Amino acid sequence: MLRSTRHSTALARCGFRRNFYSGTLGTKRSTLRSKALVATSCVAVAIALGLSRDTIQNDAPAINPKKSVPTPSGSSLVSNNDSLEAVVWGSNKNHVLSSSSDETTPIKRPELSPILSNTALRDLAVTEEYGVCVDARGDIYQWGDGFSGQLARSDRPPRPQKTLSGKDISSVALTPNKVVALSKKSGKIYILSSKQNQQDTQKPSGSWSLSKLWTSSNTEVDYIELQTNVKLHRSEKFTSISTGKDHLVALTSSGRTFSLPLSLSGNSSGQLGLRKVSVRSDSSSPSLADIELTPKAARDPYATATPYIRTSQASQEDTVSQPAVASSVEQSKLPKDDDIRFCTTLYEIPTLQGIKVAQIVAGARATYARTEMGGRVLAWGANEYGQLGLGPTVTLPHVSVPTEVVFSKTAPSGTASTCTNIAAGPGDIVYFLVQRKTLGTSNRAFDVLACGMGQWGAIGNGLFTNAQGTPSKVKLVSGVQEFHEQDQTLRPLEIYNISTSDTGHTLLTLDTAARTGPGANAGRDLVAWGLNQDYQLGNGKRSSLPTPIYLTNDEGNRVALQVKEAPVSDMSGKLWSRKAWVEQTAVAGPGCSVVYWKLRT
């Protein structure tokens, strides 16, 4: 976490005097006993390569920061005490970062969050208008003006409000109108409204049963449980979810992929991987109707052309503005986009049947799938900014068929590239974490590749580029190695986490805590780049950055995200565990950034 200036001297005792090199981005942090080494290679991607993090502890002296005093930029609140404080900075115009005042001006420097204090969470996500978190018990809490409405300061809840409970939720994914939640134990997926005034509990229809009575007594809001169009295997359950602006994708424990439209625009760019779905035919009726959500490009191939080469321009525009639905359903009778019962069935993606997928991720209007075998990536959906990564020869604005992304052009000859992770936020940019291995040797390196809309520098290649169709290396964090004193060798430095926002800034966490030897407990370095209009990069400035920078404190030491054991309470303040492993996690939201304590699973 981030610490006040008067405690910054403890950073040196927490391991900041360590031997670390990272190409041109890093600087020599201490004097080696024998000779200086400078690294030139790769940032890591594969977190699941057997690196142990279970014994990492924090050895900084205990401190007791005043919670009422904001902390200055880049400082660290790392401590050995039991305090678990979140730190926030950036846009606060809808009171997502702080509800303690009526001020909606940006938070210029990282400060303690009164909303997420003294707790560790399973998951956290924020949009421009509201925030959602999952506490240690698996209950969902919501806050922000988009949730509670524009309330006066005296009426504004000081803490997040519990909404969905009793479902053992492990993760959440958000859209402007809906919250999608995944149950850890059962693997079930639930949807509830993002607005408090639309969460009035509805009594279950049909006959009463013990199960319905139990379900009703364990939740405070109206919600739905999603079904599937095909039967899952006996032990199969959903393990991950991801949302774009208008669509949801989900992955099962067997590697099967499913998608669902969250509004009539849920397949505007072909991001679903299918077209025909069933929706409610009337907002007041439970009956279903089959509709076909046809991508814009299929309805009007000249949608992006000039008026001079379009035929029947007026009629074309009318066609594109409305989804193609079954003739038996009137447009006026279709449910509204913010209706949580718009579509309640997850559909298996036909073109991916028989392909075991390890990860599926939704961009704003695109979808990416990483195969379990070979680490190959398939992408489909919107491609106006080259966000599918299909290269300069694919200039189609929309691709509705899963198409392979080729990484060999970014690697030297004689190497094999394998994608180990995909990070795509609700915007038009995607990051591929790729491992390169030299054929016939054990040498490996790691790259962070980006493509899509880089108008504010989110590509990280030193340029402000509107469109980037070929995956490009993020400069200064691709090709990083560090020196290990224990065995006197250079090793690739891995990536621990990456989070990107729809407004164009990215937070990347380096896995520096996994090292052995001096400085091993100093924590994970935090790197940021991209849009900085609302001070979301945490450096106290507003100029956007097209290349990554380390977050540093006033003394020039790097901010380090910590791992420790501590007592954990739920959001209501009740003790959940007397001792649990927690780690600081960085989240990039729309115009803002949050560092919170996350429970390690």
- Would you give the distance in Å from CA 479 to the centre of its chain? 24
With beta carbons less than 8 A apart as the criterion, state whether 8 and 557 touch: yes
Which two tokens mark 453? 């809309």
Cα 237 to the chain's mean position, in Å? 22
Identity at 378, one-letter amino acid code: L
Two tokens at 445? 């390196």
Closest by CA position to 470, among listed 536, 389, 551, 543: 389
More confident residue, 211 or 409: 409
Each domain of the chain, given as residue ranges in start order, spans: 22-49+149-551
| Token duo for residue 2 | 């981030």
Q: Quick one: which of 56, 63, 74 has its CA closest to 15?
A: 56
pLDDT above 90: percentage of residues in the chain: 53
Task: For residues 258-262, give the mean pLDDT.
Answer: 97
**CATH tag, 22-49+149-551:** 2.130.10.30
Q: What is the pLDDT of residue 555?
A: 73
pLDDT of residue 423: 96
pLDDT mean over 377-389: 96
Average pLDDT in the chain: 79
Order the strands of the 357-362 sheet from edge to edge.
357-362, 366-371, 377-382, 398-405
CA angle, 460 then 396 then 352, to 5°: 85
Mean pLDDT, residues 347-372 taken together: 97
* CA neighbor of 455 nearest in space, from 468, 463, 466: 466
List, for residues 474-493, the tens digit of each pLDDT value. Answer: 988 998 888 777 777 888 88
Residue 50, sorted as left (phi over 0), alpha (psi -120 to 50) or beta, turns out to be: left
pTM of the full structure: 0.81
DSSP one-letter code for 552: B
More confident residue, 384 or 305: 384
State how far the Cα of 195 lies from the Cα of 336, in Å rounded to an integer: 14
pLDDT in tens, 504-544: 999 999 988 665 444 445 689 999 999 999 999 999 899 99
Tell me, what's the pLDDT at 322?
Answer: 47
pLDDT of res. 77: 41
Residue 456 DSSP SS3: coil
Report yes or no: 130 and 141 within 8 Å, Cβ to Cβ.
Answer: no
With a cut of 90, say whether residue 22 has pLDDT above it. Answer: no
In this structure, the chain runs to a length of 601
